[in-house]
């Protein structure tokens, strides 16, 4: 039996997520197993491993393992899968890695050789929390599996942005010296749902003008023409753009300097405030949209309820403004796609964001919009000039497909 299994590895600063796909039929790869490790590097490391079939998931492990690093966690998950006869050494084809920041170097997935790893190291300055963890996963997988390693980058899809969309209006030489430009993130998700939307609409991706909205704890929008990103809301870092769970999104650049002076805060403290204590959490007190919406309806504290309502409205208004901007950038739009935890599962938020787009004849179907968010569905009316879709994203699958393509190129 030929090698056909691809393992997808997504290492965060304190977590490891592994997914295994079988490519015996490359046109329809099968998702066969998953494993996660949480609280890496602490005494409370916890690992869960499951095999997946068309009908159900089988629990292979649920264990508090004691302190493990990324390599130890990956080894533990792989051992569970091998002992169950799922992930076999004679069937391993490659390992695909999600890498958050590719800087200016990577506009497509690459085979991870010494040169690629050195460039990923250079990008640590742009993503100091994420890229070191991604590198730990790469080194661990290289030691464990004698197969090619492929890197897929969250920033690559936005490499097609024109200069006028990615350039900041600061002194040009300064920007060049420090690599300061708009990179964008969530590229794997935006690319996946754009492809899926084209399939659902029955049109070539290259014929569509799309606005994709990835809405989870992190939120970003993307304007897509001819299958390529021409603009996106996140910039040099994931802090720019939409209001998010704990991130401020767009902000007057004078505000951090003022807070440093008035509140006697350091730059690092302001960075922490804008990334971890702002957004929905900063205004409404909670970072999870589900909790926020409950607070708008159920809180007996009038102040808390009003703050939650304000946070919801600021979130939706910011999203509405970005859609309007992208309608102009694209000279119209064929479809708007929602994805991510909020995008897939919060019909109230979708409806509020899409209010007042009568000028492009966008018509939301209220009944369709209430459909459960566990499958692809169109939520606009048949008469709407702009299709609106909610599509569950699958970043692991697109990484697996890209890995397979690199290995077979």
User: What are the structural domains, with CATH classification, of the chain?
Assistant: 5-153 (3.30.420.40), 204-395 (3.30.420.40)
Contacts of residue 223, Cβ cutoff 8 Å, sequence gap at least 6? 209, 210, 211, 229, 230, 231, 232, 326, 329, 330
Place of tokens 């509020």: 352
Given CA atoms 53, 57, 58, 59 in this order, what sign does their dihedral have? Answer: positive
Lowest mean pLDDT of 175-184, 279-288, 298-307, name the range: 298-307
pLDDT at 356 over 80: yes
Share of the chain above pLDDT 70, in %: 98
Contacts of residue 315, Cβ cutoff 8 Å, sequence gap at least 6? 242, 243, 280, 289, 349
Token code pair at residue 65: 């393992």
Average pLDDT over residues 18-27: 94
Lowest mean pLDDT of 53-67, 133-147, 195-209, name the range: 53-67
Average pLDDT over residues 296-323: 96
Average pLDDT over residues 333-362: 97
pLDDT band, residue 54 (cuts 50/70/90): low
pLDDT at 278 over 90: yes
* Cβ contact 391:373 at 8 Å: no
Residue range 111-164, pLDDT digits in tens: 999 999 999 999 998 888 789 989 999 999 999 899 999 999 999 999 999 999
pLDDT band, residue 269 (cuts 50/70/90): very high
Measured in whole angstroms, the distance separating CA 132 from the mean position of its chain's CA atoms is 18
pLDDT at residue number 263: 97
Query: How far apart are alpha carbons 299 and 310 in whole angstroms?
Result: 14
pLDDT at 60 over 90: no
Active site residue 271: no
Q: Which 3-state string (H, E, C) describes 242-310?
A: CCCCCCCCCCCCHHHHHHHHHCCCCHHHHHHHHHHCCHHHHHHCCCCHHHHHHHHHHCCCHHHHHHHHH
pLDDT at residue number 304: 95
Torsion of CA 320, 376, 330, 325, to 10 degrees: 10
Strands 387-390 and 149-153: unpaired
pLDDT at 341 over 50: yes
Residue range 378-393, pLDDT digits in tens: 999 999 999 999 999 9
Strands 92-99 and 149-153: parallel
Average pLDDT over residues 301-315: 97
Taken as a whole, the chain contains a residue count of: 409
Token code pair at residue 43: 């005494």
Contacts of residue 52, Cβ cutoff 8 Å, sequence gap at least 6? 31, 32, 33, 34, 58
pLDDT at residue number 55: 58
Selected catalytic residue, list 50, 154, 334, 394: 154
* Cβ contact 400:6 at 8 Å: yes
Q: For residue 40, what are the CA distances in angstroms to 80, 131, 140, 151?
A: 18, 16, 14, 22
pLDDT at 1 over 60: no
pLDDT at 306 over 80: yes
pTM of the model: 0.93
Residue range 223-253, pLDDT digits in tens: 999 999 999 999 999 999 999 999 999 999 9
């Amino acid at each position: 039996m030929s090698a056909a299994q691809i393992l997808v590895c997504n290492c965060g600063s304190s977590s490891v997520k592994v997914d295994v796909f079988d490519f015996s039929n490359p046109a329809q790869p099968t998702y066969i197993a998953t494993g996660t490790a949480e609280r890496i590097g602490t005494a409370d490391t916890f690992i869960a491993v499951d095999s997946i079939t068309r009908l159900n998931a089988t629990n292979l492990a649920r264990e508090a393992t004691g302190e493990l690093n990324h390599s130890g966690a990956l080894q533990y998950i792989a051992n569970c899968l091998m002992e169950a006869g799922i992930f076999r050494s004679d069937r391993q084809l490659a390992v695909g890695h999600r890498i958050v920041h590719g800087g200016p170097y990577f506009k497509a997935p690459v085979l991870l050789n010494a040169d690629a790893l050195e460039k990923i190291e250079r990008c640590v300055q742009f993503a100091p929390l994420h890229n070191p963890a991604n590198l730990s996963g790469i080194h661990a997988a290289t030691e464990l599996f004698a197969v090619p390693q492929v890197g897929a980058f969250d920033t690559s899809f936005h490499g097609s942005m024109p200069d006028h969309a990615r350039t900041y209006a600061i002194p040009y030489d300064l920007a060049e010296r420090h690599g300061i430009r708009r990179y964008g993130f969530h590229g794997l998700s935006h690319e996946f749902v754009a492809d899926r939307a084209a399939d659902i609409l029955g049109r070539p991706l290259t014929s569509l003008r799309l606005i994709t909205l990835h809405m989870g704890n992190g939120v970003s929008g993307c304007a897509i023409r001819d299958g390529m990103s021409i603009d996106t809301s996140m910039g040099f870092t994931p802090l720019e753009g939409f209001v998010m769970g704990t991130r401020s999104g767009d902000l007057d650049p004078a505000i951090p300097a003022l807070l440093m002076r008035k509140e006697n805060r350091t730059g690092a403290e302001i960075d922490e405030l804008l990334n971890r204590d702002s957004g929905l959490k900063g205004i409404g007190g909670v970072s999870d949209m589900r909790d926020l919406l409950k607070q708008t309806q159920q809180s007996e504290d009038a102040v808390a309820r009003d703050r939650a309502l304000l946070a919801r409205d600021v979130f939706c208004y910011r999203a509405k403004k970005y859609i309007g901007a992208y309608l102009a950038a694209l000279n119209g739009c064929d479809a708007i796609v929602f994805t991510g935890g909020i995008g897939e599962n919060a019909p109230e938020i979708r409806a509020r964001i899409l209010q007042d787009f009568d000028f492009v004849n966008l018509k939301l179907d209220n009944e369709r919009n209430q459909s459960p968010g566990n499958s692809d569905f169109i939520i606009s009316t048949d008469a709407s000039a702009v299709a609106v879709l909610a599509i569950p994203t699958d970043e692991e699958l697109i990484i697996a497909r890209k890995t397979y393509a690199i290995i077979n190129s």
